[in-house]
A = this chain, B = another copy of it.
Amino acid sequence: MGRWEPNARGRLQKAALELYAERGFDATTVAEIAARAGLTERTFFRHFADKREVLFGGSQAMEEHLVKATVSALAQEPGPGPVEAITAALAEMADELFVGEHRSLARHRHAVITAHPELRERELIKMASLAAAVAGALREHGISEPGASLAAEAGTAIFKVAFERWVSAPGDRPLSAFIHETAATLKSVTGS
């Protein structure tokens, strides 16, 4: 292992997202990302397997965070409904992971992915995997099928729609506010 570079991962991520936005994902090389971050290609590959992993490397952490928060929301008294629990978990995750400089990184990332069909597909796969993980956690905590899968799908729909509104909204309104608002809208269009 080479010498330790302070916050190398974060610097590489920021440099990569800037370059993807400026030149497009396909036209950006790892050498350029490393140069912009003031680091070597070797350091890049110590943190990321490839250019694409810069965009999706956080998926696992997001999934784990969300599953854990969902389980803890289900344990609250009085017991929330499944979608209510996932909504609380999504809002908690948003307040943890999508604040400060992560906010602008998330917006850059979204623009890059939206502009690129292959990355959009990868994002769909990520969301499907997230839904499967949350459905599994719900089943383990006593929610039967098809309720568990439906609640998980509803949760990812809430996140997806809230996230898109958040990235395109001006101002500083937090993602968690969009999540709560979107969940209320889902309730109303589902019309009980």
Contacts and interface: CB of A to CB of B under 8 A. Distances in A.
Interface residues of A, number: 32
Most buried by B among A143, A150, A165: A150
Interface string A89-126: 00000000000000000000000000000000100110
Give the number of copies in the complex.
2
A31 interface: no
B121 A188 contact: no
11 contacts: A81-B190, A121-B124, A146-B182, A150-B185, A151-B189, A153-B154, A153-B157, A153-B161, A154-B189, A187-B191, A190-B190
Q: Which 8 A-B pairs have the closest CB atoms?
A: A81-B191, A153-B157, A192-B192, A151-B189, A82-B189, A124-B124, A147-B189, A146-B161
